[in-house]
Amino acid sequence: MSNTMLFTNLSQRLTQHEALIGILGLGYVGLPLMLRFSEVGYRVLGFDIDPAKTDKLNAGESYIEHIRAESIAGALTQGFQATTDFSRARDCDALILCVPTPLNKYREPDLSFVIATTEAIVPNLRPGQVVSLESTTWPGTTDEELRPRLESTGLTVGEDLFLVFSPEREDPGNPQFTTRTIPKVLGGVTSACTAVGEALYGQVIDQVVTLSSTRAAEMTKLLENIHRAVNIGLVNELKIVCDRMDIDIHEVIRAAATKPFGFTPYYPGPGLGGHCIPIDPFYLTWKAREYGLSTRFIELAGEVNTNMPKWVVSKVVDALNDRGKAVKGARILILGIAYKKNVDDRRESPSMELMELLQKRGAVISYSDPHVPSFVPTRKHDFDLESVPLTPESLAATDCVLLATDHDRFDYELIKTHAPLIIDTRGRYREPAPHIVKA
């Protein structure tokens, strides 16, 4: 089949919903994307290296709180299957990579998941497929890392095979935006790649925003999250200044936000969490060094945000000390271990670093989180704990309650009434009280 026919045939299969869509990585990004493709009538094949996940999905079960089992069951009726067999990638017309891109211990990009997934599909590539990378990464990754591996098969990107970068923009637990309604940024290696990418995503996303290159698309994703990281770093630094001046930073932000132009509110916290904001800025700082550049602004914000858990712990220590208690042996209850409110996602959550720092100081740690009933080990943290129900007795039995993630399901009046000491890192309590310390 000629290159033109490959392009036309694939585009038609995509636009007519006849294509088989392969989603590689069935987590917080891959699973919602799978559901959206299934919803509009595509057959979807989901790949994951964890057989426990694929078994659950094939049984119609969900392992992510905000994704209902009924949605998985509905996808199964539409032909969805989950598998650990990457040789089945040959059957797919589109292969979408939704795998993690963490940092290593030196805060350098770790592309091991992207590379391993790419190398797993390379032996099973064929003419007439499109490969899309959704994992956040440094500008040049798609061109420099994926393209050579795909073309090692003898297939030419832009002619036999099509390659795009289209970063995920999921916001777990946010009911205002869905996979369908969040505009999709897209850049292809060639114009033909971009056109195929539009045919792929245009069927499931309301607005596809095309860029001139994969590098521009990669940089766009980084800019989005660097913008947030820098502004959060700013308010975190101002929080420390306001604390020393005995000013409530949350009151100041609420007041500034009444200005109808020129100000966007960002809110301080105990540190950055999630799979993007704590990580993505360092992808650019690492890549910039290759060009002899120093991204001092980004690195300063990263330094401020990274140090926030230590600052919060110092506030806990001081508050206990003021009440004649040492942190060693103190019973400290952490409220919320997800990285943000109303979800069960613990990726890079500052709560877990707070737990570790306090435990190292000798505190007796427990936690309460209605979205995380038991602590499942992560790559960095492991605690043999289960969520403590909040009762007058369990609160009164603590020396300190540390509000780290302000889930709406917490009974804040109950906590205020019965906890002897509250360290509030989220500004949830507006009215001052002798036993509430802002951090």
In the annotation, is 276 catalytic? yes
The answer to whether the beta carbons of residues 191 and 213 sit under 8 Å apart is no
Which of 92, 98, 193, 276 does the annotation list as catalytic?
Answer: 276
Give, in order, the Cα–Cα distances in Å from 282 to each of 113, 205, 268, 302. Answer: 17, 29, 20, 8
Residue in the structure block whose two tokens are 């919903």: 17
- DSSP letters along 242-300, please? HHHTT--HHHHHHHHTTSSSS-------SS--SSSTTTHHHHHHHHHHHTT---HHHHH
Q: H-helix or E-strand containing 401?
A: strand 400-403
Sheet holding 364-368, edge to edge: 364-368, 331-335, 400-403, 422-424, 436-438
3-class secondary-structure state, position 402: strand
Would you give the DSSP letter of residue 145? I
Residues with Cβ < 8 Å from 200, sequence gap 6 or more? 14, 19, 94, 130, 132, 164
Nearest to 276 by CA among 371, 143, 172: 172
Q: Which residues pair with 332 in a beta bridge?
A: 365, 400
Cα–Cα distance measured from residue 97 to residue 68, given in angstroms and rounded to the nearest whole number: 23
The answer to whether the beta carbons of residues 347 and 280 sit under 8 Å apart is no
Residue in the structure block whose two tokens are 């993505």: 280
Q: Which residues pair with 337 in a beta bridge?
A: none
Cβ neighbours around 360 below 10 Å, total? 9
Residue in the structure block whose two tokens are 């877990």: 352
Give, in order, the Cα–Cα distances in Å from 307 to each of 302, 304, 350. Answer: 8, 5, 10
Amino acid 218 reads E
Q: Active-site positions?
A: 276
